[in-house]
Each structure stands twice: as C-alpha cells, then as structure tokens.
Amino acid sequence: MEYTNLGRTGLRVSRLALGTMNFGELTSEAASFEIMDAALDAGINFFDTADVYGGPQSPDMEKGFGTSEEIIGRWLARGDRRDRIILATKVYQPMGTGPNDRRLSAYHIRKACEDSLRRLQTDRIDLYQMHHVDRHTPWGEIWQAMEQLVREGKVTYVGSSNFAGWDIATAQTAAASRNFLGLASEQSLYNLSARTVELEVIPALRYYGIGLLPWSPIGMGLLGGVLRKASEGRRATSLLQMRIEQHRSQLERYEALCQDLGEEPAVVALAWLLHNPAVTAPIIGPRTVEQLTGSLRALEVSLSDETLRQLDKIWPGPGGEAPEAYAW
C-alpha cells in the first residue's frame, strides 16, 4: 500500500480510502466486517463514513440513520483496531425532523459529534467533515464549535465536503483569523465523467494545502464497465440506464480503450485520479470483498501520457482552471 500526507498535515493516509456508505443498506453487517478486515489487511488505513449513512437518507425515515457508524463501531469493538485506522465521519445532513437536527450550528455540531462517538464506540474522530457548506451559519460560530471539539480531544482534524472554491477560501480566511488550522481535506465529486472541480476547487485546494478526496470515483458505476456488464445480462438502475444512453458513444470508446490496455474500466478510472497530484485518496465504496480487491489493482497501474490524452478526448474536462478555461 502507498501512503501520502493528508493535505499539508503530517497525517499519513492510504492512497485509497474505504467508503462505507453501503454498509447497512446494500451490504450486510457480516459482509461489511469482511470488507473492513480485507481493507485493513491490504494496508488501507483510511475509513470514511457519515452520520446519515446506512439507510434512506431522509429525515422522515425512522430507520437507517447512523447504521454505518454503528457497524463500524461494533467492528472496532471486536479487537485492537482503533489505532490502526484513520476514522473519518461527517456532520450536516438531517438526523431528525427537528429544526436543529441538521446543518452546522454550534448546537448541532456538538450533539452530532457526541452521537457519532457513541455509535462508533470511540473517544475521537480523526477527521470530522462538514458534509455541505452551511450558508445560514457564520464561520465564527462553526470554527468555535470545531475548536472546542479539538481542545476536548474529540476531533483531531476538520474537513469539508461539497464545498465550492470560494467556500474553501472563505472558510480558510476565517480559520486563519483565529489561528486555527482550518480544513485538512475536501471531499468532492470527481471522476472522468464529472470534472467541474478542475475549474476552481482544485486550484483553491492547491493554494491552501488541502487534500482532495474524490467521491464517486467511478461515476456511480458508469465507469465500471457498464456496457460489458449489460451484454452479460446484468441489470442497472433506471438512473444508470439513463446515463448510459446519454454517454453511450463515450462509453464505447472508453471501454474499448480499457480493453486495449488490458485493464478493467473501474481500475483505469481510479488510476486516472491517482495520477493527479492534487488527489490524496479516492473513496472507494465496495459492496463485496471482490470489488475491494479489484480496486487495489489501480495502485499498480501507470497510465502513459498518450493514454491520458486519449482519456481527455473521450471525457473532456472544463478546459483547465478558471479563468483561463473560459477567458484570456
């Protein structure tokens, strides 16, 4: 396994992060335990979850909230594993129907952190990530709450998710005024078929020394060989079917290129992200141990400059970084 620093921090994390959104919903607890065991054995030390993961992410549902964290907590309780992993979770999403059961007020951050610690059966969260920007709460309040958790030893690093470039700049400016480290990482949608973050998010992360954790690195299955799987009789969701038809021409060229390379499409998609120096660790979300094992292959794949050019032709980005992408 390869390891790298999480942004400008001294924390070393594996180049692949284990995403656990499927735990408790699409993946049983027993299968989740097997996946975490296999990930740890493979050297993956970076585990990512969220308070809302584990079931339908709706405040009207009585079941599902916190299930992923609870599964991880029971896995941690089975042995001496806590100090072998970097544990990341998130706060912001609705965890109930009350007016203060969501977002990033100091009130909700404190309560959500305590609830996550209880479900995870641990005394600290290594990376506490804001699941979305909260434009209704001032940064002074947000950072005060995070600083308190850091002082109490309940949180070590703070991260963001789904932030725009200007959100990152605003957050860091406010943190610097308080002599606080601020953001260590940003978790963004980023893959060959979704490259908007190249405009302003990645330049902001590079400037501030913040790590990039791409979520949905294979485009919710789009980049995982969907055309071949369809020919083998495997069914896709209606949403994925719609996206297949939307991108069929690109997918045909992409899967043909992967076949010429002798690599699985999902592996090429992950390897493409790993070649980018801005990327710390793509977040993989395996539903089985076999999917986890397949993802590890990406660490061994080196894409040539010609292959990268071909991928850019098939899946063009926004044209570079702003403003040069659209202006002189």
pLDDT in tens, 102-128: 999 999 999 999 999 999 999 999 999
Cα–Cα dist 287/35, whole Å: 8
Query: Computed over its alpha carbons, how large is the radius of gyration of the chain?
Result: 20
C-alpha distances (whole Å) from 144 to each of 34, 126, 128, 141, 151 are 39, 18, 14, 5, 11
Q: What pLDDT score does 65 carry?
A: 76
For 321, the 3-state DSSP assignment is: coil
Task: Provide the pLDDT confidence category of residue 294 given band limits of 50, 70 and 90.
Answer: very high
Q: Token pair of 276, please? A: 């980018």
**Residue 59, pLDDT above cutoff 60:** no
**Residue 60, pLDDT above cutoff 60:** no
Over residues 239-267, mean pLDDT: 95
Specify whether the CB–CB gap between 213 and 282 falls below 8 A.
Answer: yes
| Strand 283-284 versus strand 86-91 pairing type | unpaired
**Residue 75, pLDDT above cutoff 90:** yes
Q: What pLDDT score does 51 carry?
A: 97
For 59, the 3-state DSSP assignment is: coil
Task: Enumerate the β-bridge partners of residue 214.
Answer: 188
From 60-74, 271-285, 290-304, the region with the lowest mean pLDDT: 60-74
Task: Provide the pLDDT confidence category of residue 63 given band limits of 50, 70 and 90.
Answer: low
Cα–Cα dist 128/259, whole Å: 40
Mean per-residue pLDDT over the chain, rounded: 95
Q: Token pair of 68, please? A: 């992923």
Q: Which amino acid is at 166?
A: W
Cα–Cα dist 308/301, whole Å: 12
Angle between helices 248-261 and 265-274 (to 10 degrees): 90
Q: What pLDDT score does 174 carry?
A: 98
Q: Which amino acid is at 188?
A: S
Residues near 312 by Cβ (< 8 Å), separated by ≥ 6?
A: none
**Residue 155, pLDDT above cutoff 60:** yes
Q: What pLDDT score does 56 carry?
A: 67
Catalytic residue list: 53
pLDDT in tens, 167-199: 999 999 999 999 999 999 999 999 999 999 999
Ordered by where they begin, the domains of the chain are 3-224+265-307 (3.20.20.100)
Over residues 213-224, mean pLDDT: 96
pLDDT exceeding 90 applies to what percent of the chain? 91
Q: Token pair of 161, please? A: 């998710």
